[in-house]
Structure 1
Amino acid sequence: MSRNYLGESEMRDYFSLFDTRGDNKIAKEEFGNVARALGANPTNREIQTLISGTSNERLSFEDFYPMWQSVIKMEEERSQKNDQDKIVAGFRAFDREGNGLITLSDVQGILEKLGEKLSSEECAAILDKYVDGEGKIEYEKMVNTILNDDSR
């Protein structure tokens, strides 16, 4: 899910395009424009939060770079959340009762439709920790756990 961004040398080149005084700095109000020119898409709120953290009116590349890294981290988190929402919406389509639960056989059917031919035993072995006493899976919790499992 990680995007490819420019290397530091190329970033410095873009950064210098916004240096209107020739002092190797940009106006802090230009932070969002530079970030967007470098391929990021921070929200105005994110930009304001980041630039309010500095008292400097002009930012050197060394001031800019940690702020840039924060933008990238926020974008990656937002992207993961969007992916998670899409997966949950997919499971929701199989939630007949609209209660946030689907059966193990529903998941097995979904996997088969996606081309994964698993036996009932294989499916149960993979998803056993997500199945409650009634054979139901709280799919939003399962997706959240799987996508946020750092041990993968």
Structure 2
Amino acid sequence: MAEEAAAAPDFSPDQIEDFKEAFGLFDRVGDSQVAYNQVADIMRALGQNPTNKSVNEILGNPSADDLANKRLAFDAFVPMLKKVDALPKGTVDDYVEGLRVFDKEGNGTVMGAELRIVLSTLGEKMTENEIESLMQGQEDENGSIHYEAFVKHIMSV
């Protein structure tokens, strides 16, 4: 485990302060800790995009009861954030290639309706609200989405 942490980049003092401030926003009790079930949200608020599975592994695969009731201090959170930051991240090309499978006509577009079904049923399923938020303004008048521009838009947010 020490080797993994050593491979992760060190955060600057300014970054640590920003992380601490964001972490504090999730402290609803006032004990300078957050619930286990908030860790993934905090990481995402800090610009990471871990899967729920990765976060659960980093937390030691806690039970549903532990997720709801166990709390985590900031000093224990930072090494977890380093692990997530060190995880391989998908590139624009990776995601474009994944969506190309749904490009039936080979014209750089996928049907918005088909993409909605995929997002709601495969992998880490998204809610209807999350999908609508993600796809807002992305479909053309035919209900198609230019997936390369779509991926670049998502990756830039």
Instruction: Compute the TM-score of the two structures, normalised by the length of structure 2.
Output: 0.44
Instruction: Compute the TM-score of the two structures, normalised by the length of structure 1.
Output: 0.45
User: Relative CO higher for 1 or 2, CA cutoff 8 Å, sep ≥ 6?
Assistant: 2
Considering only CA atoms, is the larger Rg found in Structure 1 or Structure 2? 1
